[in-house]
Amino acid sequence: MFLERICIQCQKSCIENAGLFCTRAFGFLPCFFVLVIIACGYYVTTVATFIPLLSSSLVGGILGLVVTQLLALNIVINFLLSVVCDPGGVPSSWKPKESMMKTTRGSWSRKVQLVQTDSTGDVQPTMTWEFKRNGAPRFCRYCATYKPDRTHHCRSCKRCILKMDHHCPWINNCVGFYNQKFFILFVYYAFLGCLFASVTGVMALKRALFIIGEEEGKQVVVAAIQVICYCLTTIFGLALLFFAVFHTMLVLKGRTTIEMHEIRDPARARMVRKYNLGWKRNWKKVFGNNWLYWFLPVRWSIDGDGLSFESNMDEQQMSLVESANEEGV
């Protein structure tokens, strides 16, 4: 039985490997669909609207084509970066310092100083705020690793993701600390692109509908394609408007999508709210400190490493909050 043979490297049967390969390959189908929608919007603006406009209004046509190319470039770059950029995993060297994991009374310490030991042997102390209910450091049983604050295990990616926002099937990737900006910029630019195509493509749509009603043959097929592309772009744009508003709201509140659900749990609500540093600083934590880079597909001037996060409370305040929680207030 050829397919039952075990792979020496990954210790899985060929059937299992084939299954994994298919799962990953099918995972890219929604990405392909997104690229088709982008192509539809590009077709509506470039081919159906602005190239025909060049004959009647040269300036208007050129201006429209330039705006279209800039939007398309930003959409594609941010989309590809969201797909290929690693959202961030927990370094194998990141673990709690044994001596600080237990208090003198033998119970788990609530505030544990954790150390990150990199390959050079350097020890970098980091403070974490999130612990299990019994006070023990958070641990992922699937990855067999400790979890930094805001890290969650993704069942689709089968690993822990730093500052996990959510797993997005449209990019076949998790949205996490290192690709959050690219994902949100993709949503912004894709929405702007769809809006631009829907507004400027109205004349082309009217023309296409007229052709469908009056003409016959190949022209009708082309006009029908234009109408379908216009409708897909507009529907996609409406969905993106919702996502753009939703993610902007989360960024300004200093929250991830997972934390938005966690905040409903009163025990977690206070822990989640401590990441809110005020809307200006929250925005800069995702888009960077230098406004010149905010809307460029780069991560320049973004602080942090995804392993520890600033809090709006100091240690003393946190102790008060925790004792209040323990007393059931």
Which residues are near Zn ion by CB under 5 A?
Answer: 140, 142-143, 153-154, 156-157, 160, 167, 174
22 catalytic per annotation: no
Nearer of residues 21 and 142 to Zn ion, judged by Cβ:
142
Q: What gap in Å lies between CA 325 and CA 318, rounded to an integer?
A: 10
Residues whose CB is less than 8 angstroms from the CB of residue 7 and which lie 6 or more positions away in sequence, other chains included: 13, 14, 17
Cβ neighbours around 279 below 10 Å, total = 13
CB 130 within 8 A of CB 145: no
From the CB of 173, what's the least distance to Zn ion, in Å?
6
Q: Which two tokens stand for residue 133?
A: 């209910």
| DSSP characters over 190-256 | HHHHHHHHHHHTHHHHHHHHHHHHH--THHHHHHHHHHHHHHHHHHHHHHHHHHHHHHHHHHHHT--
From the CB of 174, what's the least distance to Zn ion, in Å?
3
Burial 173-210 (b: 16+ CB within 10 A, else e): bbbbbbbbbbbbbbbbbbbbbbbbbbebbeebbebbee
CB 277 within 8 A of CB 254: yes
Nearer of residues 67 and 157 to Zn ion, judged by Cβ:
157
From the CB of 16, what's the least distance to Zn ion, in Å?
20
Nearer of residues 72 and 160 to Zn ion, judged by Cβ:
160
* 3-class state of residue 154 by DSSP: strand
From the CB of 152, what's the least distance to Zn ion, in Å?
8
From the CB of 96, what's the least distance to Zn ion, in Å?
16
Nearer of residues 20 and 123 to Zn ion, judged by Cβ:
20
* 3-class state of residue 173 by DSSP: strand
Among candidate residues 31, 85, 160, 168, the one labeled active-site is 168
Nearer of residues 160 and 197 to Zn ion, judged by Cβ:
160
| DSSP characters over 61-128 | HHHHHHHHHHHHHHHHHHHHHHHHS------TTEEE-GGGSB-TTSSBPSS-EEEEE-TT--EEEEE-
From the CB of 160, what's the least distance to Zn ion, in Å?
3
Nearer of residues 69 and 156 to Zn ion, judged by Cβ:
156
Q: Which residues are catalytic?
A: 168
